[in-house]
Amino acid sequence: MPTISSGISIALQAVLTHSQVLEITEHNVANASTPGYRRQAAILTTDTPTSINGADHGIGAGQRGSGVTIDRIQRFNLAYFDGRFRSVSAEAKNWETQSGILSQLEATLAETSDEGLLNKLDQFWGTWQSLSNDPTNTSLRTVLLDDANTVALALNRRSSQIIQLRSDQNNAISGSVEEINSLASQIAQLNGEIARVNSVGEQPNDLMDKRDLALDRLAEITGAVSSEQKNGEVLVSVGGHALVVGRDTFQLETRTSTTDSSVLDVYWEDNQKLNLLSGELKGTLEVRDRVLVDQMNGLNTFAAQLASQVNAIHRTGYGINNATNLDFFTGTDAASIAVNPNLDALSIATSSAANQAGNNTVALQILDLKNFKGMSGNTATLNEYYNAQVTGLAVLTKRAADNSYQHGLVVHALGNQRESVAGVSLDEEAANMAKAQKAYQAAARVLTAYDELLNVVINQMGLVGR
């Protein structure tokens, strides 16, 4: 049977509910630009109705509604978008990192400018040519030593720059490992809290936002994938190895590489080596262990061949002081190549026999090396080999930049899709606010009506005959 007090209770419930809806709208508006925030909405539902037996009381039939209540606070999120977004952003970050390191290398090598190695090598050949024109010219000989030194130093510099660039990545790697470990701990802790909140039937919306933000970042670094369990916890794995299970984490650590003591490798605490498929860290390791190593090997082959080809001919010749059987270059790779310290200007061999000052046969033979196809299985000259090396690097750099740009576009598009579902639209919130406000006002008016009813009952009833 309806009572005034149950009517007041319905009205009060409505006032409280709509004020909470307003609060949720306020929360949305306040977090309109908070990273990782998913908009929330109150799902309103009717409260449990009470049964009345209409026939008994003669006032109609059916169940009587008992007002409005908030069923739950919905968090707008699509797990599917999260998974797609993370896998693409991991790939984008992988290429972005590669592109960054490679552009750095390209800029320091500056092969297309006057500082390029090829320029210096051409200068070296050019001076040999001049010397072949004028083998008795001592100043040309000094210039040649100088040019040869420039080539050797350019090779040394490139070698040390690549080594430097490789060890520079150590900072990036240990930084990433620290960040992964801290994100993993954060996720494990949030897992605990989320499971607890879920278990009491509440919605840990803001905690899930925080966890998703951490998962986004973790995916950017490592390409980590996650799956949600029934109790709300997520399982995170990186390259097939578990990183977070419930409230536990597996930590990563950096160790000095077994093959190269100047660089760091990443291992799990159970001694397995970290195996990555995408992400920033993958990009860093990929460039360091593959591209830079290839460049280094190419540079070493180039230096070794330059030295051995020139030396082989130079040893057969005679200097103007009849010195013979001298190496022109010493060293066997890009780091160690240098002009033979025992070679002075007069000892540079130009002649094929002793005591023949004008004999330039050996100088011409060395000059011919410029056109000698002794590289890449006798298909390329030294110049062509290095040209191919530079072009190869340029193609890799361009590919990394292109891929980074294209994946970036996809990340942007997927981000927009996700934002489309989860983002806060201020217009929408304004409308919701107006709706809640009106409902609140209406409920408050109902309360006033009941107030007047009570006034009638209490102050005006039973005054007959007074």
Binding site for another protein (CB under 8 A): 32-33, 102-103, 106-107, 111-112, 116, 118-119, 122-123, 125-126, 129-130, 132-136, 351, 353, 355-361, 364, 367-368, 370-371, 383-384, 387-388, 390-391, 393-395, 397-398, 401, 412, 415-416, 419-421, 423-427, 430-431, 433-434
Q: Shortest approach of another protein to residue 295 CB, angstroms?
A: 13
Q: Which of 417, 33, 31, 87 is nearest to 205 (CA)?
A: 31
Q: Shortest approach of another protein to residue 446 CB, angstroms?
A: 23
User: H/E element holding 387?
Assistant: helix 382-422
Nearer to another protein, 268 or 440 (CB): 440
Distances (CA, A) of 278 to 4, 173, 174, 225, 368: 66, 14, 17, 11, 47
Number of Cβ within a 10 Å radius of residue 331 = 18
Nearer to another protein, 123 or 181 (CB): 123
Q: Shortest approach of another protein to residue 352 CB, angstroms?
A: 9
Q: Burial letters for 171-181: b for 16+ Cβ neighbours within 10 Å, e otherwise?
A: ebbeebbebbb
- At 369, is the secondary structure helix, strand, or coil? helix
Nearer to another protein, 115 or 202 (CB): 115
Nearer to another protein, 228 or 384 (CB): 384
Would you give the DSSP letter of residue 347? G
Number of H helices, E strands in the chain: 11, 12
Nearer to another protein, 295 or 340 (CB): 295
Nearer to another protein, 237 or 383 (CB): 383
Nearer to another protein, 135 or 298 (CB): 135
Q: Long-range CB contacts (< 8 A, 24+ apart) of 165-172?
A: 165/101, 165/104, 165/105, 165/108, 165/292, 166/260, 166/262, 166/263, 166/288, 166/292, 167/262, 167/263, 169/101, 169/263, 169/284, 169/285, 169/287, 169/288, 170/254, 170/263, 170/264, 172/280, 172/284
Q: Shortest approach of another protein to residue 437 CB, angstroms?
A: 9
Nearer to another protein, 174 or 387 (CB): 387
Residue 70, Ramachandran bin (φ over 0: left; ψ between -120 and 50: alpha; else beta): beta
Q: Shortest approach of another protein to residue 205 CB, angstroms?
A: 18
Q: Shortest approach of another protein to residue 128 CB, angstroms?
A: 9
Q: Shortest approach of another protein to residue 123 CB, angstroms?
A: 7
Q: Shortest approach of another protein to residue 419 CB, angstroms?
A: 5
Q: Which of 379, 174, 361, 352 is nearest to 257 (CA)?
A: 174
